[in-house]
A = this chain, B = another copy of it.
């Protein structure tokens, strides 16, 4: 599957301000960047650094006045797809060291509190079958409602409120997985069919690799808007705190933002 991305961002600021931008498709084996251009204003500096877990890059910019970013890319997704429900869980002691952080509580994802709930609700299922049941449980019990959450909303809030946007769905998926001792991380992606068109966020869980005898990360979208074969990864992290598309070290004002993702 090949997707065309076109993202434009415009921000205003009164004084030169350090900006950290993470909007590009990550250059990783599971997706081929066929072509890509990033137009950004001439500014004091333009420096790339590796992003979380080495997946994707962040760019330091220091614009003044107006920041207009235009990013276009064509990306072919070639990740191996699996039937999540059929994947075995990886025993804790066989987890790679870098996945261990994704078992723990994080700011938006206080997973420890969900132990009893997952045991009661999903206790007779293991590994991928449990993940699939959790994904379906969220899809059934939650209402996708733009504007219904904000930067203070945690998975605890969302679990109670039963509504939210993609970040909230992903956070709830993550706490349920971690409370089952399955590593789970937050992934920022581009996908077609996201309504309204925007940056999208999903969960990724670490289960058996169907192609081998180790483990692998598998995308799960409890909103049901995107499928693993049509998502372009931007970056990963423990929760939404780790994966902002723009972080300003000062005061900036959003003027306009557009995200377009189309199948070729």
**Chain B residue contacts of A95, Cβ below 8 A:** 49, 60
> Quick one: closest B residue to A51, CB to CB?
B97
- Range for the number of chain A residues in contact with chain B: 35 or more
Q: Which residues 10-63 in A have Cβ within 8 Å of B in the complex?
A: 18, 20, 44-45, 47, 49-52, 57-58, 60, 62
Q: Does A195 contact B (CB under 8 A)?
A: no
Contact across chains for A60 and B141 when beta carbons are under 8 A apart: no
Which of B93, B106, B163 is the one whose CB lies under 8 Å from A60? Answer: B93
Contact across chains for A117 and B47 when beta carbons are under 8 A apart: no
Question: Which of A66-74, A78-86, A153-161, A185-193 touches B?
Answer: A153-161
Which of B101, B116, B242 is the one whose CB lies under 8 Å from A162? Answer: B116
Q: Does A241 contact B (CB under 8 A)?
A: yes
> Quick one: closest B residue to A117, CB to CB?
B162
Contact across chains for A58 and B161 when beta carbons are under 8 A apart: no
> Quick one: closest B residue to A98, CB to CB?
B50
Contact across chains for B50 and A97 when beta carbons are under 8 A apart: yes
